[in-house]
Amino acid sequence: MPEATTSSTPKSKPKPVAVSAPAFEMPKFEMPKFEMPKFEVPTAFREFAEKGIAQAKENYEKVKSAAEQATDVLEDTYSTASKGCTSYGLKLIETTRANSDAAFDLMSELMTAKSYSEVVELSSAFMRKQFDALTAQSKELCEHAQKVATETAEPIKESISSTFNKAA
């Protein structure tokens, strides 16, 4: 029996061969040239189109003007509301400070009281005085808030009424 011999040399992998693909080109295509028929636009149609364009421009200007006015009104309203809220906050801080000062004054008077009846008398007087002060402060804050609301709403009210007057 013939013996098979095996060689111990490793087989090398075949090297890839670079194959160049043919360059692909788009076929050149030209649009066919058709001659457009020459026709005259009727005068009535041309006038109608010109009137439509003029009216559209006029309406655009009106809308643009109204939008600018609305923007101005909103800016004024925001400014007024901001100033009003700031002044209301300051008024509230002033009121709180007055009430705190009155409470501290009461505490110092109570610390120097000689008897329980004097404590009751000082407390009662403080409560009456604070009730009157709180009533006046509440009224003042309410009036201030109403003033701020009125001043804030006034530009909007005027703008709406002037817009309706123009439309009428």
Q: What is the mean pLDDT of the chain?
A: 84
The pLDDT of residue 40 is 78
Q: Tell me the CA distances in angstroms from 114 to 106, 122, 125, 126, one per residue in order.
A: 14, 11, 16, 17
The pLDDT of residue 106 is 94
Please, are residues 102 and 130 in contact by the beta-carbon 8 Å criterion? yes
pLDDT beyond 80 at 115:
yes
3-state secondary structure at position 80: helix
The pLDDT of residue 14 is 61
Please, are residues 122 and 47 in contact by the beta-carbon 8 Å criterion? no
Q: Give the least confident one: 14-18, 94-98, 155-159.
A: 14-18
Please name the residue that has the structure tokens 């804050």.
141
Q: Residue 57: what are its φ and ψ, rounded to 5°?
A: -65, -45
What digits encode the pLDDT tens for the residues 45-90? 888 889 999 999 999 998 888 888 888 888 888 998 999 999 999 9
What digits encode the pLDDT tens for the residues 26-50? 777 777 777 777 777 788 888 888 9
Give the separation between CA 111 and CA 97, rounded to whole angstroms.
21
Q: What percent of the chain has pLDDT over 90?
A: 46
- The predicted model scores a pTM of 0.58
Cα-Cα end-to-end distance for the chain: 122
The pLDDT of residue 12 is 58
| Residue among 102, 100, 80, 82 at smallest CA distance from 92 | 100
- The tokens for 74 are 């909103």
pLDDT beyond 70 at 1:
no
Give the separation between CA 81 and CA 89, rounded to whole angstroms.
12
Please, are residues 99 and 133 in contact by the beta-carbon 8 Å criterion? yes
The pLDDT of residue 22 is 59
